[in-house]
Each structure stands twice: as C-alpha cells, then as structure tokens.
Amino acid sequence: MNVMQAEAPVAVGETGLEIALPAGRSYFNHYWLRDNCPSSFDRSTRERSFDILHLAAPPRPETAEIEGEALVIRWAGEDHTSRYPLAMLAQYAAPTKRSDPADMPRRAWYGDHYPDIPRFSQPELKADKAKVADWLEALIVEGLAIVTDMPDSDAGLTELVELMGQVRPTFFGLYFDVKTHINPTNTAYTAGALELHTDTPAEETAPGVQFLHCRANTVEGGMSLYADGVAVANDFRARDPEGFRLLSETEVPFFCEHDSYDMRSRQTIIELDEHGEVSGLTLSQHMLDILDLDQHLLDDWYPAFCRFGKMLQEERYLMRFTMKAGECMVFDNHRIVHGRAAYSATSGERYLRGTYSDRAEMRSTYRALVSEGRFK
Ligand SMILES: [Fe+2]
C-alpha cells in the first residue's frame, strides 16, 4: 500500500483507503468496499445481487470523500457511486464476528433436573410465536424440553417439528418407531436396556435435534434416562484435563452397515464449539467402529474413554423418569445422551415415534423470531 496522507479524513492508498471514524482511523480494502456497496443487496430477494467476479479490473476509487454521515466513493472505470453510512463502516472496522442472538451460553443440568425441564404445550406453541422463541431458547441453552398435549397422531409430531424447521431424514428414513405390543403368547420377552448414546453418529453430520413422541407407555419399567453431556464433559475437563484433551481432539471411526448402506464417519467423543466450549458428545456403543488408530495412542485414549464413560453414569448426572403418552421429548442430539432402562414387554404397550431436525434449522428459526436480521 502507498504511504497515505496521515491527516486527511479519507486517504486513498493502493489496496484500500483510510478513513477517520469516531473510534479512530480505520482501513478498508477496496474490494471489500466495492463488494459491499449497500446497492449490492436486493431488498426483495434479500440476497447479494452484485457479483464481484464480473468486475473487469480491480476496484479503485476515482474519488472518496465524507459527505455528512456517509463515505461516498465514485469508482474508476465504471459508472457507479457508493454511499456507505459511517455507522456501517464502524461496525466492520475491526474483524468482529457478526453478533448472533442464537449464540447463547449453555446452562448445564444434573440428575435432579426433571421438575425444572422447560415444558410447553403443543397447541400453545402452534398459537403463539413468542412461545416458540421461548421453546427454542430453552433448547439452545439447556438442550432439552418437553412438549405436552401432543395429539395422538402422526401429524402432530410433524406439525411440532415444522414450528422449528424441516423434518430431517437419516438413513433410517424420515420417522422411526420404537414399538412393543403386548403379546400374551410371547411369554418371556423382555426389552433390554439401552445404554446412554447419541443417535446415528455414523452419519457425517448426525441430526442435531431429536424428537421422541410418546404415544403409549403402560409397561413396567422402561424408564427414560437422560444426561447432559455438557455438564459431564465440563466436569471431566476440570477433573481430568489430559483425558479431556484426548477425547476432544482424537477423531474415532463410527459405522453403520447393512446390505444396502455403509455409513462411516469420524467424530471426536467430546465436541467443542467455536469458542472452545463443550457443545456436545458423540457416543454410541452400537456404532463405534474398530479403532484404526495408533495402538500407543490407544494406551492413553482407551483409559480416558472409560474414565469418561463411567463418569457419565454417575448418579449425579442421570435423570430418570417415565414418559407419559402425549409428551414429546425434544433435545439436542449432539449434547444430550439418552437411554432406557429394561422393561417387561408383556406388561403393557410402549410406543415412541421419533424424528429429527437440525441445530441450524433451530437457530435459524430462533434468529428470525427474535432479531431484526439484515433486511427487516
Ligand atoms: Fe436413541
């Protein structure tokens, strides 16, 4: 860049310009300025309509000056003038990520959380967008909510998902059924326990939000088990920093294979977000593949994995309860581990119908409900 005139309100250099803003002199690249002229965005489509790849030559200001509360640039070689509100430039003067209303700190919960789980009724959610925002906020912050008063129909679940986003298929399809009918002729069938897990980690990106709609539950046993992966992993981080490092940095293989599919992925057991905070877990005894890692690394990884897995089963983290017909558990499938105690299949009927949506859908709907966005 050329040496600029230090004191001029706007000083044009070779690659960009310097401008005096209330917070101090700031530099803006010419490409950025040309690309982000306010006229580059179509208010009707709400998309960028300008394509910088069509510029014949690198953008260069013919003139650049401050007029009132705006920077005005006439561009060389094209018939185009840009007006940038100084407030807009102030917003981008430093590389600060755009603020995101859906980026809220998580609140960890423990085994005694059941009475405090946020609850919303399905008809109330359908009628009131403010309640939908509260519901999504609860899911982002705590990772789990119960929706009550669900209609006893397949459509009821779809309607609930669509308040948040789209139904998200997995390789099992759009919906799944966990069903056991009473069968007196089948004498001793006992539905076994399901260990704590997250669903379908063999997918490259496992679904982010899980819905489990209880349509019937009259069996003996079969209590639902839930634990907050964030609570456990945060405590593990404090108790066992080296174990935490191994489980949050080492990608391990997951698989799910049958005649017509062969899903494979690599995931870390503990998932961190962009801030380095724990955002979830990936855990599945059924889908963990044979570890194809250095055997010496496994000398450390396996003991750490077992220490963590045992910690996850400590009473202080485990929430146990019996789902009632008409309730739908909605939870972050990357954060909340879930399982089920064994039950007696001959003692009644148990029918859960499930499906998924994604974290991105949930956050998108939340932002649209609570913020102005770029164009409103
Ligand atoms: Fe599951």
pLDDT single digits (tens) 10-61: 999 999 999 999 999 999 999 999 999 999 999 899 999 999 999 999 999 9
Domain that holds residue 185: 114-370
Q: Compute the distance from residue 196 Cα to the ligand 1 centre, in Å.
A: 8
Q: Compute the distance from residue 176 Cα to the ligand 1 centre, in Å.
A: 10
Chain segment 146-174, per-residue pLDDT in tens: 999 999 999 999 999 999 999 999 988 99
Q: Compute the distance from residue 59 Cα to the ligand 1 centre, in Å.
A: 54
Q: Which of 27, 57, 92 is the last residue of a domain?
A: 92
- CATH code at 81? 3.30.2020.30
Q: Compute the distance from residue 339 Cα to the ligand 1 centre, in Å.
A: 7
Whether pLDDT at 245 is above 90: yes
pLDDT value of position 373: 83
Does a structural domain hold residue 104? no
Does a structural domain hold residue 32? yes
Q: Compute the distance from residue 213 Cα to the ligand 1 centre, in Å.
A: 12
Does a structural domain hold residue 218? yes
- CATH code at 314? 3.60.130.10
Q: Are residues 141 and 256 in the same domain?
A: yes
Does a structural domain hold residue 3? no
Q: Which of 62, 92, 122 is the last residue of a domain?
A: 92
Distances (CA, A) of 302 to 100, 235, 241: 37, 19, 15
Does a structural domain hold residue 269? yes
Closest CA to 312 of 333, 352, 282: 282
Does a structural domain hold residue 98? no
Closest CA to 270 of 295, 322, 305, 294: 305
Q: Are residues 85 and 137 in the same domain?
A: no
3-class DSSP assignment, residue 295: helix
State the average pLDDT over residues 243-267: 96
Q: Are residues 177 and 257 in the same domain?
A: yes
Q: Are residues 39 and 121 in the same domain?
A: no
Beta bridge partners of 41: 48
Q: Are residues 14 and 67 in the same domain?
A: yes
Q: Are residues 356 and 277 in the same domain?
A: yes
Q: Are residues 81 and 153 in the same domain?
A: no
> How many domains are there within the chain?
2
Does a structural domain hold residue 25? yes
Closest CA to 215 of 266, 275, 168, 175: 175
Q: Compute the distance from residue 34 Cα to the ligand 1 centre, in Å.
A: 50
Q: How many CB atoms lie within 10 A of CB 80?
A: 14
Q: Are residues 17 and 125 in the same domain?
A: no
**Whole-angstrom distance, CA of residue 72 vs CA of residue 146:** 53
Which position has the token pair 């309607």?
A: 159
Does a structural domain hold residue 107? no
Q: Which of 92, 125, 147 is the last residue of a domain?
A: 92
Beta bridge partners of 190: 344
Whether pLDDT at 370 is above 70: yes
Q: Compute the distance from residue 312 Cα to the ligand 1 centre, in Å.
A: 16
pLDDT value of position 182: 56
Q: Are residues 125 and 61 in the same domain?
A: no
Q: Compute the distance from residue 193 Cα to the ligand 1 centre, in Å.
A: 12
The tokens of 360 are what? 């991105």
Chain segment 312-357, per-residue pLDDT in tens: 999 999 999 999 999 999 999 999 999 988 888 788 888 999 999 9
Q: Are residues 219 and 354 in the same domain?
A: yes
pLDDT value of position 156: 97
